[in-house]
Amino acid sequence: MTCLELQQDYGAYSLGVADNPERTEIDEHLARGCPNCVPGVRNARTTVAVLATAVKIAEPPARLRRRVIAMVTPQEEERRFTMLPWAVAGLLAVALIAVAISVRRPAAPDTARLDQALSVLNDPAAKDVSFGDPAARGRVFVSPGQGIVLIAAHLPKLDANRTFELWVIPTKGNPIPAGTFRSGADATALYVRPGPVENAAAVAVTVEPEGGSPQPTTAPFIVTKL
C-alpha cells in the first residue's frame, strides 16, 4: 500500500487498534524508515500519548513507590549471607534470614528487606521448594500475595558485566522478569522480590547482561517448579 493510503490509519495504528493489512503495511514502512510514515506515525503517537492526561487521576498507595524502588536496590551486599552452614537454610529459614542479612549497612533498609522476607515466609499460602542442581542449590519461597525469597549457594561465577535474573514462569505466557541480583564472594545470595506473584507455575534464574533482560537470553540454570 502507498503512504497516501496508509496515512489515514496512522492514528489507529498508534492507538494499537489497526487491523491488517494496514497494520502490517505500516510496520513494513516503518521498518524501512519510510520518510512519510515515520514522522506521520510519530505525530499520531504524540496525540495518543496525550490521551493519558484525560484519565481520572488516582492516588497510588505509598507502598507502590517502595516496591518499585526495591526492585532496583543493589542486593549483593545486603542480601548475601555468609558463614552459615548451608544445611541450616532449609530447616529454619526465618532464623537464617535474620542472621544472614549483612549488618554493615544502615539499619533501615535491612529492616525493610527483612520485613519483606518475613512477610513471604509467614504467609501460610507460600510455597516452599528446594532445588539442588549441582550448579546451584537452595530454596525458594513464593507467596502469591507477598513475593519471592530465593536463597541460593554454589552460584556460578559471573563476569563483571553480567547479572543473575529471576523469572516467574506463569501458567500461560512468557517469563516475567522478577529482578536482578548478584552473589557474594562466597557464591551465595539471598534475594527478596516483594509484591504479588500471580499464576506462577515455576521460578527460574538465568545469567543476563547487566541490568537484566526483558526476556531470558540464556538457558536457566535454576528452575523450580511450584
Partner 1 sequence: MMIPGLLLALELSGENDEALARRLQCREPQAMADLYDRFGRLVYSVVLSIVREPAVAEDLVQETFLRVWNRVHGFDAARGALGPWILAIARNRAIDHIRSVGSRMDRNSFEFDAREHPSLFVDMEREVFNTDHARIIRAALAKLSANQQKVIELAYYEGLSQTEIAERMDQPLGTVKTWVRAALKHLRDELGQEAVA
Interacting residue with partner 1 among 210, 217, 218, 225 (CB under 8 A): 210
Nearest-5° Cα angle at 91, 90 to 92: 105
Closest CA to 155 of 116, 118, 186: 186
Interacting residue with partner 1 among 43, 111, 130, 218 (CB under 8 A): 43
Q: Is residue 195 a contact point for partner 1 (CB under 8 A)?
A: yes
Q: Is residue 11 a contact point for partner 1 (CB under 8 A)?
A: yes
* Contact predicate 205/150, CB 8 Å: yes
Q: Which is closer to partner 1, CB of 138 or CB of 195?
A: 195
Q: How far is the CB of 7 from partner 1 (least distance, A)?
A: 10
* Contact predicate 137/131, CB 8 Å: yes
Please state whether 173 falls in left (phi above 0), alpha (psi between -120 and 50) or beta: left
- Interacting positions 75-104 with partner 1 (CB under 8 A): none
Interacting residue with partner 1 among 2, 4, 32, 56 (CB under 8 A): 56
User: What does each C-alpha distance from 97 to 16, 108, 162, 194 come to in angstroms?
Assistant: 46, 15, 25, 15
Q: Which is closer to partner 1, CB of 69 or CB of 108?
A: 69
Binding site for partner 1 (CB under 8 A): 8-9, 11-12, 15-19, 27, 42-61, 63-65, 67-69, 71-74, 172-174, 176-177, 179, 195-196, 198, 210-214
